[in-house]
Amino acid sequence: MKPSPRLAAGLNIWPSYKARDFSEQVRNLFNDRAEAWGRNYKPQGKLTWRLHQFCSVLGEFASPPAEVLDFGCGTGHLAKHLGEHHYVLTACDLADQMIRTARRVFGETDIKWTTLPADWRQLPFVDRSFDAVVASSVLEYVGNLELVFSELARVLRDGGVLIFNVPNPKNGQRKREDWAKRMTRRAWIRRALCTIPRIQRYLTYLGLSNNRFPLGEWERGASRHGFQRMHAGHRPANRPLFLFAFQKNALTEHIGQRQAGSPV
Ligand SMILES: C[S@@+](CC[C@H](N)C(=O)[O-])C[C@H]1O[C@@H](n2cnc3c(N)ncnc32)[C@H](O)[C@@H]1O
C-alpha cells in the first residue's frame, strides 16, 4: 500500500517542536485516518472495549444527564456511546476530517461537534461548562500539556471529573516502541526504514505520540491544575493504556445527584 500523499510529502518523521507545526502534523495524521477510524469500533473492533470502560468509570462519578466534553473525540464513537447512556455531549477535535466523519455518521444525534484550529490556545467553551471531560488516547499527542490541563480545568465545574487514558510505559509493547524510537534517532536507520511505507507510518505515529511519561508524572502534571486522582484504573497495571480519573477541586458531591440550580 502506498503512503497517502500528505504523509509521504508533508510529514517529518520526528516532529518539529514548534507548537504549530507539531499540531498540524497531528491533525494531518488523524485526518488521514478519519475514513477508516470507525472500523475500530465495530462490535468486535479493537477499540470497542474503550467505550464500556470510559462509560463505566464515568458512571462512578457522574450520573446522566451530566454534561460531558469528549476532548479529541475523533470520529465520535465514545461521544455517541455516552449519549446513548443519556449524558449530554459536546465533542471537539482539531482534525477537521474526523469531525466531518463524525457529523456524517452521527448527524442524527444531539451531540454538539466543534472543530478546533490546529494551533488553538483556548477552548471555545465558557468557564465551568461541563461536569466531566473524557479524553480517549489524546493527551499523548498534545504539544502543550500544561495549556491543555489548564483549559480542561477551566471548562470543568468544581467537583467535575477528568477521565483520560495514556500509554503505559511499564507495558512490554510500550517498551518496544520506546526502543524503536531510540534506534531510529539515527538518520541512516530512519532513512532506510522509511522506504517501507508501513514502517514510515508507524514511525510517524511514534514521533507524534510524544507524551510518554511514568504514571506518577501524569498525576503530578494534573495536580498542578487542581486535579486530584480518584481512580486507580480498572485494568491491570501492565496494560498498554492506563486510565486515570481526576476530580477538579475535589468536592465529595456526586455529580448528577445535586439539586437543580445548585452551582456545581
Ligand atoms: C488516537 S485518536 C483518538 C480519537 C478518539 N478519542 C478515540 O478514542 O477513538 C486522537 C485524537 O486526538 C485528537 N487530538 C490530538 N491532539 C489534540 C489537541 N491538542 N486538541 C484537540 N484534539 C487533539 C486527534 O486529532 C485525534 O482525533
In a domain, 170, yes or no: yes
Is 156 within a domain?
yes
Contact 161, 247 (CB under 8 A): yes
Nearest CA to ligand 1 atom 4: 74
- Structural domain boundaries enclosing 111: 14-248
Q: Is the CB of 26 under 6 A from ligand 1?
A: yes
Contact 256, 63 (CB under 8 A): yes
CATH code where residue 229 lies: 3.40.50.150
Can you give the pTM of this predicted structure?
Answer: 0.88
Listed as ranges, residues in the chain with pLDDT below 70 are: 1-18, 231-237, 250-264
Predicted pLDDT at 5: 33
Q: How many structural domains are present in the chain? A: 1
Ligand 1 probe mutation, 138, 204, 206, most atoms within 8 A of CB:
138
Give the pLDDT of residue 2.
39
Per-residue pLDDT of 235-262, as tens digits, reads 566 789 999 999 998 654 445 444 333 3
- Say what the pLDDT of residue 204 is: 85
Residue 77 lies in a domain: yes
Residue 95 in contact with ligand 1 by CB distance below 6 A:
yes
Return d(Cα 228, Cα 239) in angstroms, integer.
22
Confirm whether 147 is domain-assigned: yes
Confidence at residue 199, expressed as pLDDT on a 0 to 100 scale? 81
Q: Is residue 254 part of a domain?
A: no
- Decide whether any atom of ligand 1 lies within 6 Å of the 66 Cβ: no
Q: Could you tell me if residue 261 is inside a domain?
A: no
166 CB within 6 A, ligand 1: no
What pLDDT does 239 receive?
Answer: 86
Does 106 fall in a domain?
yes
